[in-house]
């Protein structure tokens, strides 16, 4: 396929709409103009969500009020928990999340109201309740009762608390919260763009977010973080990295967690996650997964010129946080819900149906052939 044709197939480099939420320029990722490195170092997830939704950082009283609002909406509707208990225990965790998000519309008091204020309330409920949906599924599929959120803990500490039944250490909390900051938005990535396409038909918030969750699941997008951990576990030992990679390249396999459509000189989020993975392995005094990742990174770069993306070091980071690896992609959604909803609201604020054209390459013109004359 010619280079131009290949680019066209994936809408590569196409500016699909204007947006003031997130930018990627010269390899620098910014939310509302603020460099992701600054946010990762100084901000918190909830403050970052406020920034994405409102366009500016909150003042102290605004953040407090926002945290209180989130804390008031942490629980899923009771019938939804009952419904989850009926799901097949082996169901894929992203399929479960997609179904729960879709079902949330049945129980949202604002369903049917498409006003801006109602949509903001729906966004808040989605943000607040996804952590419970993800962690509740971990317990339900293991025949346990879900652990309910603690009111004052907010999103990140509650996620780890509800998952593991004990509150996280400071380093665990800071690491997880930073990971959510790093995943919160990313311009017109596939799931966000899908959400905007859906929202632009003037359907509803839950339909748009259901679309987004389904899109995130794919291994070329958010599903890569789980695949990275499967790769590391398959490799098993740092000494196996080189022969494993040789065979993977011989099989022409894609190495999960490497490469990016937009960043060609490295994904800035990977740099932050690499530091987080290193800090955790130091704290645990077990650097196996970090060392293995580092070795794989070096060899893939040397042999293919590919650099790690956001999913590469999030895998070892989450593994060291003792999170089951099929929850890594749902965690991506727990964070990216902030960006998805910001983009849906932005799309609706200046909406036009998104309806591109295709470059038709089929038969130019053909006549209908009656069945009896077809050979």
Ligand X SMILES: CC(C)(COP(=O)(O)OP(=O)(O)OC[C@H]1O[C@@H](n2cnc3c(N)ncnc32)[C@H](O)[C@@H]1OP(=O)(O)O)[C@@H](O)C(=O)NCCC(=O)NCCS
d(CA 76, CA 74): 7
- Decide: 43 and 22 in contact? Cβ < 8 Å: no
Question: Quick one: 157 or 224, whose CB is closer to ligand X?
Answer: 224
64 touches ligand X (CB under 6 A): no
231 touches ligand X (CB under 6 A): no
Residue nearest to ligand X (CB): 259
**Residue 1-30 contact track with ligand X, rule CB under 6 A, x = bound:** ---------x--------------------
Geometric angle at alpha carbon 359, from 202 and 343, rounded to 5°: 30
306 touches ligand X (CB under 6 A): yes
Scanning 51-59, 97-105, 218-226, 279-287 for contacts with ligand X by CB under 6 A, the matching segment is: 218-226
Phi, psi of 223 (to 5 degrees): -65, -10
Question: Quick one: 44 or 329, whose CB is closer to ligand X?
Answer: 329
224 touches ligand X (CB under 6 A): yes
Given the residues 177, 183, 311, 343, the one annotated as active site: 311
Scanning 57-65, 96-104, 307-315, 359-367 for contacts with ligand X by CB under 6 A, the matching segment is: 307-315
Q: Give the residue, chosen from 255, 296, 307, 344, that forms a contact with ligand X under the rule CB under 6 A.
A: 255
Give the DSSP letter string of 115-172: SHHHHHHHHHHHHHHHHHHHHHHHHHHTT-PPPPPPGGGTTHHHHHHHHHSSPPPHHH
Scanning 50-58, 254-262, 276-284, 328-336 for contacts with ligand X by CB under 6 A, the matching segment is: 254-262
Q: Give the residue, chosen from 66, 244, 258, 289, that forms a contact with ligand X under the rule CB under 6 A.
A: 258
d(CA 46, CA 63): 8
- The H-or-E segment that residue 29 falls in is strand 28-31
173 touches ligand X (CB under 6 A): no
91 touches ligand X (CB under 6 A): no
Find the binding residues for ligand X in span 148-167 (CB under 6 A).
Answer: none
Give the DSSP letter string of 264-323: SS--HHHHHHHHHHHHHHHHHT--HHHHHHHHHHHHHHHHH---B-HHHHHHHHHHHTT-
Q: How far apart are the first and last CA of the chain?
A: 32
Residue 335: closest CA among 288, 278, 273, 256: 273
311 catalytic, yes or no?
A: yes
Considering all CA atoms of the chain, what is the largest pairwise distance in Å, rounded to the nearest integer? 77
257 touches ligand X (CB under 6 A): yes
194 touches ligand X (CB under 6 A): no
Q: Give the residue, chosen from 261, 282, 286, 298, that forms a contact with ligand X under the rule CB under 6 A.
A: 261
272 touches ligand X (CB under 6 A): no
- Decide: 249 and 217 in contact? Cβ < 8 Å: no
- State the residue for tokens 């799901």: 87
Residue 293 Cβ vs ligand X, minimum distance, rounded to whole Å: 13
Residue 312 Cβ vs ligand X, minimum distance, rounded to whole Å: 7
236 touches ligand X (CB under 6 A): no
Given the residues 186, 260, 267, 343, the one annotated as active site: 260
Residue 260 Cβ vs ligand X, minimum distance, rounded to whole Å: 5
Scanning 69-77, 165-173, 306-314, 326-334 for contacts with ligand X by CB under 6 A, the matching segment is: 306-314
The edge-to-edge listing of strands for the beta sheet with 22-25 is: 22-25, 28-31, 34-35
Q: Give the residue, chosen from 256, 270, 321, 344, that forms a contact with ligand X under the rule CB under 6 A.
A: 256
- Decide: 103 and 213 in contact? Cβ < 8 Å: no
- State the residue for tokens 């590391």: 232
Q: Give the residue, chosen from 22, 97, 101, 310, that forms a contact with ligand X under the rule CB under 6 A.
A: 310
- Within 10 angstroms of residue 304's Cβ, the number of other Cβ atoms is 13
268 touches ligand X (CB under 6 A): no
Provide the annotated active-site residues. Answer: 260, 311
Binding site for ligand X (CB under 6 A): 10, 220-221, 224, 254-261, 304, 306, 309-311
């Amino acid at each position: 396929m010619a280079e131009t044709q290949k680019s066209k197939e994936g809408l590569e480099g196409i500016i699909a709409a204007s947006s003031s939420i997130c930018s990627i320029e010269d390899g620098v990722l910014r939310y509302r103009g603020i460099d992701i490195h600054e946010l990762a170092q100084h901000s918190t997830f909830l403050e970052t969500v406020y920034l994405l939704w409102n366009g500016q950082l909150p003042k102290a009283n605004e953040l407090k009020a926002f945290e209180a609002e989130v804390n008031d909406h942490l629980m899923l509707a009771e019938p939804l928990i009952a419904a989850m208990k009926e799901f097949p225990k082996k169901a894929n965790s992203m399929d479960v999340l997609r179904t729960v998000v879709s079902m949330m519309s049945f129980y949202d008091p604002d369903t049917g109201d498409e006003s801006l204020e109602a949509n903001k309330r729906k966004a808040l409920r989605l943000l607040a309740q996804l952590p419970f949906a993800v962690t509740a599924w971990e317990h339900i599929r293991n025949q346990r009762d879900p652990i309910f959120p603690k009111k004052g803990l907010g999103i990140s500490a509650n996620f780890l608390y509800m998952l593991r039944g004990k509150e996280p250490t400071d380093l665990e909390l800071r690491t997880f919260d930073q990971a959510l900051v790093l995943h919160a938005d990313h311009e017109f990535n596939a799931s966000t763009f899908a959400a905007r396409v859906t929202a632009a038909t003037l359907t509803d918030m839950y339909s748009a977010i259901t679309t987004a969750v389904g899109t995130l699941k794919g291994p070329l997008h958010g599903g890569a973080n789980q695949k990275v951990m499967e790769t590391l576990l398959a490799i098993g030992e740092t000494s196996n990295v080189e022969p494993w990679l040789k065979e993977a390249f011989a099989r022409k396999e894609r190495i999960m967690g490497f490469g990016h459509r937009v960043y060609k000189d490295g994904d800035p989020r990977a740099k932050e996650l690499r530091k987080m993975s290193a800090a955790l392995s130091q704290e645990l005094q077990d650097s196996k997964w970090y060392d293995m990742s580092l070795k794989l990174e070096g060899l893939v770069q040397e042999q293919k010129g590919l650099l790690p993306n956001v999913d590469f070091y999030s895998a070892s980071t989450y593994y060291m946080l003792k999170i089951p690896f099929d929850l890594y992609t749902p965690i991506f959604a727990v964070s990216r819900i902030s960006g998805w909803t910001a983009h849906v609201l932005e799309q609706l604020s200046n909406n036009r149906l998104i309806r591109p054209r295709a470059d038709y390459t089929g038969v130019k013109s053909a006549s209908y052939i009656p069945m009896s004359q077809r050979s």
